[in-house]
Amino acid sequence: MPATSELRVEVTVVGGGPAGLSSALTAAHAGLRVALVDAGSRLGGQFWRHPDPQSLAPGQAESDGQHSWRVFERMRAQLRGFIATGRVLHLAGHTAWSIERGESASVVRLTRSWDAVQLIAGSVRSEHVILCPGGYDRQLPVPGWTVPGVMAAGGVQALVKNGGRLDGRRAVVTGTGPFLLPVAAALTRAGATVVAVCEANPPSAWLTGTGSVLRMPSKIAEALEFGLVLGRHRIPYRTRTAVTRIHGTDHVEGVTLSRVRADGGIVPSAGARSHLEVDLVALGWGFTPDLGLAVAAGAEVRRDVDGSLVAVVDDDYRSSVAGLSIAGEATGVGGAMMAVHEGELAASAVASETGVGVGPARAARLRRAIARERAFARAMHGASALPAGWTAWLDPDTVVCRCEEVSAGDIRNACGDLGADDARTVKALTRAGMGWCQGRVCGFATCEVTASCAARSSTADDLRAMSKRVLASPVRLGDLAASDDTQGPR
Amino acid sequence: MSAEVVIVVDGAPVIARAGTSVAVALTETGRLAWRTTRFGGAPRGLFCGIGVCYDCLVEIDGAPAQRACIVPVADGMKVNTRAGHE
Ligand SMILES: Cc1cc2nc3c(=O)[nH]c(=O)nc-3n(C[C@H](O)[C@H](O)[C@H](O)COP(=O)(O)OP(=O)(O)OC[C@H]3O[C@@H](n4cnc5c(N)ncnc54)[C@H](O)[C@@H]3O)c2cc1C
Ligand code: FES
């Protein structure tokens, strides 16, 4: 794509994960011309991230370690057909960094996800935009979490799915939720020894959601599969336990485990069992959607049951902004298959404005599936609560914002001495959330630490302040100046 | 299958599997950290693994601040870990 060109299509889909794939495919089936913008180089998003075929070792398959891979292969094959005929333009390695809505069209501006020469890469103009940006690991800071060798749990999964090997490493996986299990399995597959999986909640937390769990037999089968991996490799699964301190300076040397009480408080335990020698720590406290573009576009947002900020959408996945639909993780974290179903409904609603959607019978089936998946997600969030009072683990010098190196003490000073009582003010006073990642990593935690100073819970307003970014992705100023793409939407 | 490319990391050749990322290549040389932070001079390497946290920045072929975890390796690519993360 030439540097400053503007493409015109009927629908722009942002994100090539489960939701974006099914959105693009459904829109193309309905006869619409689609631009599929994806920051990654290969389709699949986070769930179906897979190695480049060139990097496969003998005997290794593209699908190793994947679930529902056949669903992906079918969608990818159909999409490739549409790409070949030109109905779908797949803009791989392109990141949407701004979205501007006019009366009848939106302009989505793009930058190359990586490039030595020039980052600005034109824009796409379309009547409809469907945002399927997914999310990333939600993080809670832990003393020592900036030491090399500590990674986000999803990041470990991504490294392994990209073909990375971790032979000889000793790992601990810690946090909350069922995602800790596939991460332990992935580590094992990549050659690491998993010393323990630590789940902060008691197993009984699932009891209240039994009904919705039983209606999702595929999830039970998955859990059993991972349980078998743990059993085969003798990996201890410790409940009511969390890593509350990571030791080491230029690399991880070990961790301190603590017992998590029923009320969420932490009992630092004494003795050998509370220390593990490891050189890799995977931290997973659930996922949180990437709402940068949605917030920038002015879409209404709310706090979901898991505490994360999500986009508000109607039954057809339309946001509060005309011409802007949102599907997948961004409307609430709930897994890949739900994202696929939401993407199809979102695109179907867009297509029915000008032609035909998927039809009432299919739509009803999708809605029933989503209702089941949503109920399961609620049970999962209920069973995967963050330990109450986790902010008390932090030392004053524990870094909360990794980019700007803002500590818990800095945030508490801003609240105590300088009188800040909301995340927006803390951000302005401390620069937390103003660095390279624009608050993606520390946003949630900064809101929680701020709220804990005021002895309250963090609010949607706190979270929105941390999601509001001037640019959804850094762009070089020189490139911006050189770009002659000055036309706004009409 | 499993074609190899050679990238140059801080002046020294490193063999990488074609199609993997710069971060995978660096990790497989045993490196955990490859840059230091602006204020505290603290070592950093891979954290989010998906292009979100900007902890893994390196200079690639003269372009500063590239995320090692999302950039695919290419034959002859020059990776400089000591510059370009400011
Ligand atoms: C690192 C990570 C690993 C995960 N691994 C698993 C797993 O192993 N098993 C599991 O059950 N669940 C996993 N999940 C959860 C899983 O990702 C979701 O349930 C599911 O993928 C959601 O689908 P989605 O389409 O909404 O989003 P995603 O799959 O996240 O896809 C979003 C896509 O949009 C792209 N994108 C985002 N913003 C932009 C932009 N501005 N411009 C262009 N492109 C953009 C991203 O690069 C990505 O390709 C993981 C999540 C993360 C963050
Ligand atoms: S590890 Fe987070 S951006 Fe590369």
Dump pLDDT digits (tens) for A333-361. 999 999 999 999 999 999 998 778 899 99
Closest to A335 in 3D by CA, of A347, A343, A325: A343
Distance of CA A150 to the CA centre of its chain: 18
Tokens of A239: 């409940």
The confidence band for A2, taking pLDDT boundaries of 50, 70 and 90, is very low
What span, in angstroms and rounded, lies between the C-alpha atoms of A467 and A456?
20
CA pair distance A150, A144, nearest whole angstrom: 9
User: Would you state the structure tokens that stand for residue A461, as one six-digit string?
Assistant: 């307003």
* Nearest to A330, CA basis, from A363, A300, A358: A300
A147 exposed, middle or buried (CB, 10 Å; 0-12, 13-18, 19+)?
Answer: buried
Residues in chain A: 490
On whether the CB atoms of residues B31 and B16 are closer than 8 A, the answer is no
The model's confidence at residue A489, banded by pLDDT at 50, 70 and 90, is: low
Q: What are A477's two structure tokens?
A: 């100023």
More confident residue, A490 or A137: A137
User: Mean pLDDT, to the nearest integer, of A445-458?
Assistant: 94
Contact A96, A36 (CB under 8 A): no
Which range, of A101-110, A257-266, B20-29, averages the lowest pLDDT? A257-266
Q: What percent of chain A has pLDDT over 90?
A: 75
A126, A118, A117: which is closest to A14 by C-alpha?
A126
- Residue A206: CB atoms within 10 A of its CB come to 17
A56–B60 CB contact, under 8 Å:
no
Chain A closest-CA separation from residue B75 CA (Å): 13
ipTM of the complex: 0.95
- Rounded-to-integer distance, Cα B5 and Cα A269, Å: 49
What's the whole-model pTM score? 0.95
User: What is the reported pLDDT for B14?
Assistant: 96
Q: What is the mean pLDDT of residues A35-53?
A: 94
Judged by a CB distance cut-off of 8 A, whether residue B84 touches chain A is no
- What gap in Å lies between CA A368 and CA A357, rounded to an integer? 17
What is the residue-wise DSSP string for A188-219?
Answer: HHTTPEEEEEEESS-GGGGGGGHHHHHT-HHH
Question: Would you state the pLDDT for residue A56?
Answer: 86
Tell me the mean pLDDT in the region B74-86: 80
Q: Which residues pair with B44 in a beta bridge?
A: B35
> What average pLDDT does range A305-326 have in this prediction?
97
Interface touch A148/B45, C-beta < 8 Å: yes
**All residues at 6 or more sequence positions from A306 whose CB lies less than 8 Å from its CB, including other chains:** A286, A333, A381, A384
> Is the model's pLDDT at A100 over the cut of 70?
yes
* Amino acid symbol at A155: G
Of A60-64, A191-195, A237-241, the least confident: A60-64
The predicted structure's pLDDT at residue A480 = 64
Given this model, what pLDDT does residue A375 score? 95
Q: What is the CA radius of gyration of chain B?
A: 12
The number of beta carbons lying within 10 Å of the beta carbon of residue A230 is 17
The sign one gets for the Cα dihedral A286, A290, A294, A298 is positive
- How high is the pLDDT of residue B86? 46
How far is the C-alpha of A223 from the C-alpha of A270, rounded, in Å?
A: 32
**Residues of chain A neighbouring B42 (CB-CB closer than 8 A):** 146, 405
Give the ligand with the smallest distance to the CA of B26: 2
pLDDT above 70 (res A472): no
Q: Which helix (H) or strand (E) holds A266?
A: strand A266-268
Quick check: B47 and A40 CB within 8 A? Answer: no
Lowest mean pLDDT, pick from A60-64, A145-149, A180-184: A60-64
Whether the per-residue pLDDT at A430 is higher than 60: the answer is yes
Residue A467 Cα distances to A152, A288, A430, A472, angstroms? 19, 11, 16, 9
Average pLDDT over residues A450-478: 84
What confidence category does residue A270 fall into, taking pLDDT thresholds of 50, 70 and 90? Answer: low
Give Rg (Cα) of chain A: 22
Q: Which residues line ligand 1 (CB under 6 A)?
A: A 14-20, 37-40, 45-47, 95-96, 132-137, 154-155, 157-158, 182, 287, 290, 293, 328-329, 335-336, 339, 472; B 50
More confidently predicted of A159 and A54: A159
| Interchain CB contacts (distance < 8 Å): A and B | 136
For residue A409, the chain B residues in CB contact (below 8 A) are none
pLDDT of A204 strictly over 90 = no
The reported pLDDT for the residue numbered A262 is: 81
A476 at the B interface (CB within 8 A)? no
Helix (H, G, I), strand (E, B) or coil at A464: helix
pLDDT for residue A82: 98
Who's near A236: CB < 8 A, 6+ residues apart? A195, A196, A197
| Position A105 pLDDT exceeds 90 | yes
Interval A357-379: pLDDT, tens: 899 999 999 999 999 999 999 99
Q: Give pLDDT tens digits for A399-420.
A: 999 999 999 999 999 998 899 9
Q: A58: pLDDT confidence band, cut at 50, 70 and 90?
A: confident
Give the residue, by CA position, lying nearest to ligand 1 atom 49.
A45
User: Is residue A289 within 8 Å of A134, Cβ to Cβ?
Assistant: yes
- CA A57, chain centre distance (Å): 29
Of A55, A155, A163, the CB nearest to B50: A155
Provide the pLDDT for residue B84: 47
Report, as an integer, the average pLDDT of A463-487: 70
**Phi first, then psi: what are they for A245, rounded to 5°?**
-160, 135
Phi then psi for residue A325, to 5 deg, are -105, 155
Task: Please check the confidence at residue A28 and state whether its pLDDT lies above 70.
Answer: yes
Burial track B7-16 (b if 16+ CB lie within 10 A, e otherwise): bebeeeebeb
Rounded CA separation A153/B9 (Å): 27
A331 SS3 class: helix
Strands A309-311 and A301-303, bridge-based pairing: antiparallel
Contact list, A137 vs chain B (CB under 8 Å): 48
Q: E strand or H helix at A414, and its extent? A: helix A408-416
Reported residue count of chain B is 86
How many Å apart are CA A463 and CA A377, to the nearest integer?
Answer: 21
pLDDT grade for A450, boundaries at 50, 70 and 90: very high
Q: How far is A152 from chain B (nearest CA, A)?
A: 5
What is the pLDDT, as a whole number, of residue B20?
93
From the CB of residue A452, how many other CB atoms can be counted at a distance below 10 Å?
20
- pLDDT attached to residue B26: 95
Q: How far apart are CA A412 and CA A367, in angstroms?
A: 45
Please give the single-letter amino acid code of residue A95. T
What SS3 class is residue A303? strand
Residue A411's Cβ-count burial label (10 Å; 0-12, 13-18, 19+) is buried
Q: Which residues contact A79 (CB under 8 A, 6 or more apart)?
A: A21, A24, A25, A28, A36, A43, A88, A90
Rounded Cα distance, A459 and A448, in Å: 9
pLDDT band at B43 (very low <50, low <70, confident <90, very high): very high
Strands ordered across the beta sheet of B12-17: B12-17, B4-9, B78-80, B57-60, B63-67
- Which token pair is A236? 């201890």
